[in-house]
Amino acid sequence: MRVSRRLPPLSLLLALFLGLLLAGCSNAPTRPQGAALKGVDDAKPYLSQLIRHEMAKNSITGLSIALVDDQRVVWAEGFGYADKEQAQAASAETIYRVGSISKLLTATAAMQLVEQKKLDLDLPLQKYLPDFSVQSRFQNTAPITVRNLLTHHSGLPRDLSKGMFSARPVSATQFVEQVKHSDVDYPPNLVFSYSNLGFTLLGYTIQNISGVPFKDYMQHSVLEPLGMRTATFEAGPTSSSLMSKAYRRGKPADEWPLRDVPAVGLNASVLDLGRFLSMVFASGKVGEQQVLKPQSVAQMLSAQNVDVPLDLNFRSGLGWMLSTLGASTIENAGPVAHHAGSTLFFRSEIYALPEHKLGVVVLANSSSAGQVVDRLATQALAIALQAKTGITQPARQKVLPANPTGSVEQLRPFVGDYTTIAGHVRLRLDHDKLKADALGQAFDLVPRSDGLLGIEYSLLGLLPVDLRSLGDIGFTRRSVSNREVLIAVMGQQEMLIGERIQPPTHVTRWLQRLGSYEVVQTDEDRTVVDRMALIEDHGFLLVDLAINGRVSAATRVPLQPVSDTEATLLGQLANGGDTLRCQGDAQTEQCSFAGYTLRKLTH
């Protein structure tokens, strides 16, 4: 069975084009330059206009921001509404679900236990969480350590999807029991592979060592000492009158409780997180209290993965991300530590420049704010840096296309199929052009004067579309650790995004399983995966996943059979990813992955 590349309907493409035209009619405000910027106060009118512009353009209901200079919050303000229906304005005190920024606080708690010699980062996790175990198809690998969890090098799956959103989240004991039936995606220490599951296990390790429920330990040992007076770790939004509602496309939305509280369960305001930044800038001190030792803060902000070849020069600390790509990059300011966060509908971003003791927090209550909170955070931080130090950001020059003469021979080695962080990607030559079939679209990969490939996209094949910062990123391929990998490059920063794959062999039994599947048990969960389809395309087995009722080309994932009953949904590398198990005949075929059981549809 062959499947043609799916394209969006014409009406959707026309709507996209109309949206681009309308966006072009609303210009962003002009940023102050040079002598016009003597301090942060001079930039507030511009930043306020920029925030309102981005909120209107992206249908964001409410947003708050805080700029931190060492021990002072130099600007904190809210925009739009925390509760539009009740006309409750967003403010600096508004509480948001901050998603994965929670990991920085959980990491702080872990480092406190390290200081108390109750936890060793390099001992196996099982020493502190004896009931922990996980299945692995990899042989003779090192045990998963606490440091692996903190740096996202455990090889554990990103999520245990079933039960992640639930009216009644399971207990720590039940969660650890469920993990026993999961499989690692990669061997430990092979590659950076983000894992909420890993940080949830870290939280329950903290609970096990301290003998105190995780949320209570965090409240008494971390949040209160930091002065984060309105912050709490909870499965769902707090009952505080300061809590923002959630919105999707300008309409109220239900923010379901989350099971993985240590990874994503913090409720906080920008002022709360501003106090956390001040602790970092004070080397762990809050007033006269030492919440963390200076060496612990320094270790959290130090690269932990310099000896991992497949990470290239991407760097992660303990909890913190230490590398940026694209428009998020702040140059000439020393290390840039940051973390993003998202739940179903809330979006967040935190950035710190430790050398200059400058930081920013941006929180929003709308699912459309993902890229916006990052743009606003980096713009505000760059302006604060300029105001404090005079350091300006260099103008980003667009790299020019190369002379096309002889480019076909340069492009030919790229041709092939790849598993990537965005799912299956096919690179093919169309006459003298290299095309990338990805995310349900066809992009052009064009040789640039710097030797990299740039990405371009034309609506209906005719109208060029501005891809914003994506258009500034270059792409190349290289052999790393005997793997042919795709790499994204901007400036000096490189990031592995995928690996070349070959059509699988011994697929007869899997070809018999082609078709659609539905989730057969949901309990009281909000399902992340609703349906699954196994398909074949040019000799490759692919999995289409319907996520929360939406089928997305971004969820078309290559499938690599391991046996007649087990296969891997490939991630960024060709031998790693979630495990899919199937068994039964044509009438009773059932598959399982990420905690879900799916049944084949026979009609």
Say which CATH number the domain at 231 has: 3.40.710.10
User: Domain of 549: which CATH number?
Assistant: 2.40.128.50
User: Which of the 8 DSSP states describes residue 449?
Assistant: T
- Domain's final residue, options 327, 357, 389: 389
Estimate to the nearest angstrom the gap between the alpha carbon of 179 and the chain centroid: 21
CA–CA gap between residue 264 and residue 98 (Å, rounded): 7
Q: Are residues 447 and 521 in the same domain?
A: no
- Count of Cβ atoms closer than 10 Å to residue 494 Cβ: 19
Question: For residues 282 and 354, is the Cβ–Cβ distance under 8 A?
Answer: no
What is the pLDDT at residue 338? Answer: 97
- At position 228, the amino acid (one-letter code) is M
CA–CA gap between residue 155 and residue 158 (Å, rounded): 9
480's torsion region: left (phi>0), alpha (psi -120 to 50) or beta?
beta
In a domain, 366, yes or no: yes
In which residue are the tokens 């940023």 written? 31
Q: Are residues 225 and 373 in the same domain?
A: yes
Name the β-bridge partners of 258.
165
Give the per-residue SS3 of 17-82: HHHHHHHHHCCCCCCCCHHHCCCHHHHHHHHHHHHHHHHHHCCCCEEEEEEEECCEEEEEEEEEEE
Question: For residues 110 and 206, is the Cβ–Cβ distance under 8 A?
Answer: yes
In which residue are the tokens 């200059």 written? 356
User: How many helical (H) and strand (E) elements, i.e. helices and strands, does the chain have?
Assistant: 15, 33
In the chain, which stretches have pLDDT less than 70? 1-26, 33-37, 327, 403-406, 457-471, 522, 548-554, 603
Determine if the pTM surpasses 0.75.
yes
Find, among 155, 185, 590, the residue nearest to 419 by Cα.
185
In a domain, 25, yes or no: no
What is the extent of the structural domain holding 268?
Answer: 96-118+213-389
Q: Are residues 385 and 471 in the same domain?
A: no
Residue 544, burial from CB neighbour count under 10 angstroms (0-12, 13-18, 19+) = buried
In which residue are the tokens 């709507």 written? 15
Find, among 372, 373, 330, 374, the residue nearest to 354 by Cα.
330
Q: Are residues 411 and 520 in the same domain?
A: no
In a domain, 109, yes or no: yes
What is the pLDDT at residue 16? Answer: 38
Q: Which residues contact 421 (CB under 8 A, 6 or more apart)?
A: 497, 498, 571, 572
In a domain, 432, yes or no: yes
Q: Are residues 246 and 312 in the same domain?
A: yes
Find, among 50, 150, 104, 151, the residue nearest to 272 by Cα.
104
Q: Are residues 357 and 268 in the same domain?
A: yes
Count the residues in the chain: 603
468's torsion region: left (phi>0), alpha (psi -120 to 50) or beta?
left
Name the β-bridge partners of 447.
453
Q: Are residues 359 and 248 in the same domain?
A: yes
In which residue are the tokens 């070809």 written? 511
Angle between helices 196-210 and 102-115 in degrees, nearest 10? 40
Count of the separate structural domains present in the chain: 3
User: Which of the 8 DSSP states describes residue 401?
Assistant: B
**Residue range 542-587, pLDDT digits in tens:** 999 887 655 554 578 999 999 999 999 999 999 999 999 999 887 7
Question: For residues 489 and 497, is the Cβ–Cβ distance under 8 A?
Answer: no
Give the per-residue SS3 of 81-118: EEECCCCEECCCCCEEECECCHHHHHHHHHHHHHHCCC
What is the pLDDT at residue 304? Answer: 97
In a domain, 3, yes or no: no
**Residue range 216-230, pLDDT digits in tens:** 999 999 999 999 999
CA atoms within 13 A on the CB side of 528: 16
Q: Are residues 595 and 553 in the same domain?
A: yes
In a domain, 78, yes or no: no
Q: Are residues 346 and 493 in the same domain?
A: no
Q: Are residues 490 and 523 in the same domain?
A: no
- At position 513, the amino acid (one-letter code) is R
What is the pLDDT at residue 5? Answer: 31
Residue 337, burial from CB neighbour count under 10 angstroms (0-12, 13-18, 19+) = buried
CA–CA gap between residue 243 and residue 391 (Å, rounded): 37
In which residue are the tokens 């903190």 written? 150
Going along 502-576, which residue ranges are E strands? 515-519, 525-526, 529-537, 540-547, 550-561, 566-570
Sheet of 72-83, strands arranged across: 88-89, 72-83, 62-69, 358-364, 347-353, 337-342
- Count of Cβ atoms closer than 10 Å to residue 509 Cβ: 14
Question: For residues 368 and 60, is the Cβ–Cβ distance under 8 A?
Answer: yes
In a domain, 394, yes or no: no
Q: Are residues 351 and 245 in the same domain?
A: yes
- Count of Cβ atoms closer than 10 Å to residue 303 Cβ: 17
How far are the Cα atoms of 29, 91, 153, 593 from residue 197, in angstroms, in the given order? 41, 32, 12, 15
- Domain's final residue, options 468, 501, 534: 501
CA–CA gap between residue 231 and residue 268 (Å, rounded): 4
- Domain's final residue, options 447, 468, 501: 501
- Count of Cβ atoms closer than 10 Å to residue 6 Cβ: 12
For the four alpha carbons of 323, 329, 334 and 339, in that order, the dihedral sign comes to: negative
Q: Are residues 278 and 312 in the same domain?
A: yes
In a domain, 376, yes or no: yes
